[in-house]
Amino acid sequence: MTLTSFPWLTAIILFPIVAALFIPLIPDKDGKTVRWYSLTVGLIDFVLIVYAFYSGYDLNRPGLQLVESYTWLPQIDLKWSVGADGLSMPLIILTGFITTLAIMAAWPVTLKPKLFYFLMLAMYGGQIAVFAVQDMLLFFLVWELELVPVYLILSIWGGKRRLYAATKFILYTAGGSLFILLGGLTMAFYGDVDTFDMATIASKHFPLNLQLLLYAGFLIAYGVKLPIFPLHTWLPDAHGEATAPAHMLLAGILLKMGGYALLRMNVEMLPDAHAIFAPVLVILGVVNIIYAALTSFAQRNLKRKIAYSSISHMGFVLIGMSSFTDLGMSGAMLQMISHGLIGASLFFMVGATYDRTHTLMLDEMGGVGKKMKKVFAMWTACAMASLALPGMSGFVAELMVFVGFATSDAYNPVFRTIIVVLMGVGVILTPIYLLSMLREMLYGPENEELVSHTRLIDAEPREVFIVGCLLVPIIGIGFYPKLVTQIYDTTTQQLTALARQSVPSLRQQAAGLPPSDRPWQAPPLRS
């Protein structure tokens, strides 16, 4: 077996899951051995991801790579089919990176450590599987299985209202998953060929009315995970009760599953419906940006403030994927990756601050930066990244979406101008609520009761290392975006071409023009 024929993706998915099964056998009383074991497993899997990327992934080749397909249950045509392209490969790398750091962030966990790290490793493989599987039924199964560890982590290790937050999370996401199952089955059994293979499904020609119905169902399902207003209300509650590692996985990876699935299924498989729904997505994206920014500004709870900030930033993903420009589509992908890094860093800092102050209310803080200078520096750097400071990844991603949509020829100039202005308002609101948060928390007069009853110990080396690891790619992408964009450019350019050809074709169908006169013909996206 050569290196190129080795089943890399299968190994990357199954290794942490199989390793998790050995955790109950580890003799460990205080949890120290199992956390080192879990960190080692996470690092090995991340090394496998990076090696598979550099040895077997061609940046200049479109379509799926590292493809593996094995018959699993032939009676129902279920196959273990995995592969990676420009949409999935960067998110697989991001998953390995964030999850490994989240395992390191879980060092303070002392309650049922074996169960906790078992769930973390199970999530590791499940999250990668969501981005890698190429079978519709298998996609639904891994999407559902990935929810179970999140629910358990929230309900066992969360805050005072953890059961409420965990139940709300599972009801929202499982309810949305029903649309995935119904839509996937409809696409699989439509036409002359019955198949769950995503490539074959993507080549089917669905009538417009069916596309619209499928698109609406998928939009609800993936809009819950992204999340899109008004399907977002589970996120502030979940973040409000989660621990630091759960925060990092929620903000860094789980929200990206919604964006990835929208690109993979709504934009790629249902392009004609996307051409009609795109203005709706743009409006929802603007609502996400401004509504969540204003709501974040009003929050006094630190976790909920950052949670609404995440909702606001994900609005740029919706606008970018609906821009019908290469720059906007590339910006949507970069925003997902950038927010994964920035969101993970902010929520880790929230957890580190709570461990010291034992409060999440900004009114009860004040002046803590004087006692914790390293924490002060890390909070400032992470907040600057979130408010899109030039030289950091958030600035490049939002600028690409902004310019990509502003230069789009798929929309009425008046509509485009209104959206651009509203996006600009959202960009202005972000530094207002983030800088005011820093001022209340780190500056100003000290809370004498807090200082006198709490040991405000500065950041330890482990915490500095975690934040440093997140800031390196944030700054690296900010100065050299091609570091990431070259991974997915060939895929997003084809995806944009596929989406663009649906806009004039629908207009020309209404005008009675023949198909031969339709411009913007694009090659098939998948190969």
* Three-state SS at 79: strand
Amino acid at 72: W
- Cα angle 184, 187, 191 (rounded to 5 degrees) comes to 155
The rounded distance, in Å, linking the Cα atoms of 269 and 321 is 14
Contact predicate 110/143, CB 8 Å? no
How does DSSP classify residue 263? I
- State the DSSP H helix or E strand holding residue 84, giving kind and residue range, or none if neither: strand 78-84
For the chain, the distance separating the N- and C-terminal CA atoms, rounded to the nearest angstrom, is: 24
Whether residue 133 is contained in a domain is answered as: yes
Whether residue 246 is contained in a domain is answered as: yes
Is the preceding peptide bond at 62 cis, omega within 30 degrees of 0?
Answer: no
Tokens of 488: 């997915």
- Tokens 């979940």 sit on residue: 238
Instruction: Provide the 10 A C-beta neighbour count for residue 439.
Output: 13
How does DSSP classify residue 454? S
Domain that holds residue 308: 8-505
pTM of the model: 0.93
The rounded distance, in Å, linking the Cα atoms of 228 and 318 is 9
Contact predicate 143/136, CB 8 Å? no
The rounded distance, in Å, linking the Cα atoms of 87 and 487 is 9
Tokens of 123: 């999530």
The rounded distance, in Å, linking the Cα atoms of 417 and 494 is 26
Residue by residue, DSSP assigns 35-72 as HHHHHHHHHHHHHHHHHHHHHH--TT--S-EEEEEEEE
Contact predicate 227/261, CB 8 Å? no
- State the DSSP H helix or E strand holding residue 80, giving kind and residue range, or none if neither: strand 78-84
Whether residue 519 is contained in a domain is answered as: no
Each residue's pLDDT, cut to its tens digit, for the chain (527 residues) gives: 455 568 999 999 999 999 999 999 988 777 789 999 999 999 999 999 999 999 889 888 888 999 998 888 887 778 899 999 999 999 999 999 999 999 999 998 888 899 999 999 999 999 999 999 999 999 999 998 888 999 999 999 988 889 999 999 999 998 999 999 999 999 999 988 888 999 999 888 899 999 999 999 999 999 999 899 989 899 998 988 888 899 899 988 999 999 999 999 999 999 999 999 999 999 999 999 999 999 998 888 899 999 999 999 999 999 999 999 999 999 999 999 999 999 999 999 998 888 888 888 888 887 777 788 898 899 999 999 999 999 999 999 999 999 999 999 888 899 999 999 999 999 999 999 999 999 888 886 777 666 665 667 888 999 999 999 999 999 999 999 999 999 999 999 999 988 888 886 444 544 444 443 433 333 344 44
Whether residue 526 is contained in a domain is answered as: no
Whether residue 525 is contained in a domain is answered as: no
The rounded distance, in Å, linking the Cα atoms of 405 and 410 is 9
The rounded distance, in Å, linking the Cα atoms of 433 and 305 is 9
Whether residue 516 is contained in a domain is answered as: no
The rounded distance, in Å, linking the Cα atoms of 187 and 523 is 21
Whether residue 527 is contained in a domain is answered as: no
Instruction: Provide the 10 A C-beta neighbour count for residue 141.
Output: 16
Whether residue 103 is contained in a domain is answered as: yes
How far is C-alpha 270 from the geometric centre of its chain's CA atoms?
Answer: 21
* Three-state SS at 310: helix
* Cα-based distances in Å from 321 to 56, 259, 260, 413: 28, 9, 10, 18
- In the chain, the number of structural domains is 1
